[in-house]
Amino acid sequence: MTPLHLHLLSDSTGETLEMIAKAALAQFENAIVDRHFWPMVRSQQHLDRIMTEIVTKPGLVLFTVVNEALRDSLEKRCAEAGLKTVSALDSVTDPLARLLDKEKVHRPGRQHVLDDAYFERVEAIQFTIAHDDGLLWEEWEEADILLAGVSRTSKTPTAIYLANRGFRTANIPIVVESPPPPALFGLRHPMVVGLTTSTDRLVQVRRNRLLSLNQTPETDYVDKERVEKEVKYARRMFADNGWAVIDVTRRSIEETAAAVIKLYNERKARLAADPDNTGGTKPI
C-alpha cells in the first residue's frame, strides 16, 4: 500500500501540529503515513526551499502559520501543485474570535510563551522525577497526587504524563514484604490514587519485562499465586484507607491519567464546598 505523505508545516516548534496529527491518525487503524516535519518556517525563502521537497511527495499539508502573506503563498503554491492544505487551528480560533469579539494576535508560537503555567509545569516535572518509586517520602505532603500500586502498574509513566499537565505527582510501589512509610496514611494535601490491574495481565507484563532485560521469566516475580497475593494486599490497603482506585488493565497511560485528573478535579470541587471533606472516591 502506498503511504500517505503528511506534511506538518509550522512557523513555530510544531509541537501543536504533532499532537493534532497524532490524535487524528489514532482514529485510523493500520494507516500507513509518512510524516514530514517542517518547523520554524518564517520566511518566503525558507518556504521556497521546502516547497520544492513537498511537491515531490504530494499528500496533505497540515499547517499553523500566522503570517498572512506567508500563509497565502503556501496555500496558493499548494493549490497550484494540487495539494490539499488544512489550517490546524482555524476551526477553533475563528469561532472564538467571533464569540469573544476580538482579533487574533498573529504571533508565532504564542501558545508556548514562557508564562507562569509553563514554569509550574517544569517544576511539576522536576518534583515528579525526584519523587519516583517511593523516593523522598518526607516531602509527599507537597505533592498534588500520589500514585500507589504494585510493580508494573504504570505508576511512573502515568506520573510523568500528569507532571506534563502540571500536577506534582509522587508514586510508591506497594510491596507485601516492605510496608510503606507511615507518612503515606496521614497525608492531607495530596490525593492518593491506587492503581490496580488483573493478575493475568500483570503476570504477562512482568514476564515481558524480564525477557526484555534478558532475565529468566521463572521467578516469584511472575508466579501467579504470589502476584495475586500482591494485588489483593494492595487492594485491601486502598479500601482500608478510602483511596480512589483505578483499574489500568485495559487503559492506556493517557486514559489512566485522564481518569486521575477527573478524580482530582472532583475532589477539588468537594474540598472547595467543604474543606473538611477528605474522603476517598469509589473505584472506577
Asked if pLDDT for residue 181 goes beyond 90, the answer is: yes
pLDDT at 277 over 70: no
pLDDT value for 106: 53
**Mean pLDDT of the region 225-250:** 97
How big is the chain, counted in residues?
284
4-17: average pLDDT: 88
4-112 CATH pick, 3.30.310, 1.10.3470, 3.40.50, 1.20.58:
3.40.50
**What pLDDT does 104 receive?**
57
Same CATH topology for 4-112 and 116-273?
yes
Separate counts of helices (H) and strands (E) for the chain? 9, 8
- Whether the predicted pLDDT of 7 surpasses 90: yes
Q: What percent of the chain has pLDDT over 70?
A: 90
Alpha-carbon distance of 85 to 62, in angstroms, equals 6
User: Could you give the percent of the chain with pLDDT greater than 90?
Assistant: 64
Q: How do the domains of the chain map onto residue ranges?
A: 4-112, 116-273
> Which pTM value belongs to this model?
0.63
Reply yes or no on whether the pLDDT at 114 is more than 50: no
Has residue 148 got a pLDDT over 90?
yes
Q: Is the pLDDT of residue 282 over 50?
A: no
Contact present, 162 and 261 (Cβ < 8 Å) = yes
Contact between residue 86 and residue 61 where contact means Cβ atoms under 8 Å apart: yes
32-63 pLDDT, tens digit each = 999 999 988 999 999 999 999 999 999 999 99
Q: Is the pLDDT of residue 207 over 70?
A: yes
pLDDT band at 2 (very low <50, low <70, confident <90, very high): confident
Q: Report the pLDDT value the prediction gives residue 199, as an integer from 0 to 100.
A: 96
CATH hierarchy code of domain 116-273: 3.40.50
127 CB-near residues (< 8 Å, 6+ apart): 142, 143, 163, 168, 169, 170
Concatenated DSSP letters of 123-181: HHHHHHHHTGGGTTGGGGGG-SEEEEESTTSSHHHHHHHHHHTT--EEEEE-BTTBPPP
pLDDT at residue 147 tops 50: yes
